[in-house]
Amino acid sequence: MKRFWRLIPYLAVGLGLLWYKNAWLALLGYHLGILLAFGLSRAWGHFRALKPLLRPGWAVTAWISACLAGLLLYLGWSRLPLPADLAVSLASLGLTAETWPWFIAYFALVNPWLEETFWRGWLSGPSKTPAVEDFLFAGYHILILGQFVPFGWLALAFVILASAAWFWRQVVRQTGSLIIPAIAHLLADFSILTAIYWRTIHP
């Protein structure tokens, strides 16, 4: 049954973003799908893995690298092969100057806890080597980026995202808690979306 639930983000992005052209619908559909999966599978107990725990070495590495994602995106923006009308394209998906701050806030404050519990808590195993879930996590992001980024850059993004998924999974394996990768995920989401916001809305 877990094999089916792995497809939730692909269905949400496919319908919400690619079909209905609405970023909010895709995001909310994804989150509702995760909650439905937990409900039907009685997997709510996996949220207990978000227990407070601090391992300074893992935390510093995970959190600094997450913040660097947005910073590097912001600083290297002009060198990226992005469409000149990116702001218009994002607005057509429901991400306007008025809605961007709300989208960033919801994405950063809600998405990391659900995604980490789903991908690194419920679906992932203790493997030290790259797992199917690492690549599936990266893959659905490529569906989103594919609308704006050339193929060569998509391949690079896939490697980075799969590596992040693997690394966060190793943190969970070593610490027994989802809290460090969840906060890292929050920092990555916030920094990346904020960089896009400032570069498109306030260039």
Within a domain: 124: yes
Phi-psi region of 176 (alpha: psi -120 to 50; beta: other; left: phi over 0): left
Dist. CA 122–CA 169, nearest whole Å: 11
Is 89 part of any domain? Answer: yes
* Enclosing domain of residue 175: 56-200
What confidence tens digit (pLDDT) does each residue in 101-153 have? Answer: 999 999 999 999 999 999 999 998 889 999 999 999 999 999 999 999 999 99
Q: ∠ CA 101-115-129 to the nearest 5 degrees?
A: 130
Q: Is residue 2 part of a domain?
A: no
Residue 79 lies in a domain: yes
Tokens of 66: 């997450």
Report the pLDDT value the prediction gives residue 2, as an integer from 0 to 100.
Answer: 82
pTM: 0.96
Give the tens place of pLDDT for each residue, 10-46: 999 999 999 999 999 999 999 999 999 999 999 999 9
What are the helix (H) ranges across 76-99? 86-92
Number of domains in the chain: 1
Mind listing the pLDDT tens digit for each residue in 144-173?
Answer: 999 999 999 999 999 999 999 999 999 999
User: Is residue 62 included in any domain, yes or no?
Assistant: yes
Asked whether residue 23 is domain-assigned, the answer is no
Is residue 38 situated within a structural domain?
A: no
Residue reference for tokens 């799908």: 33
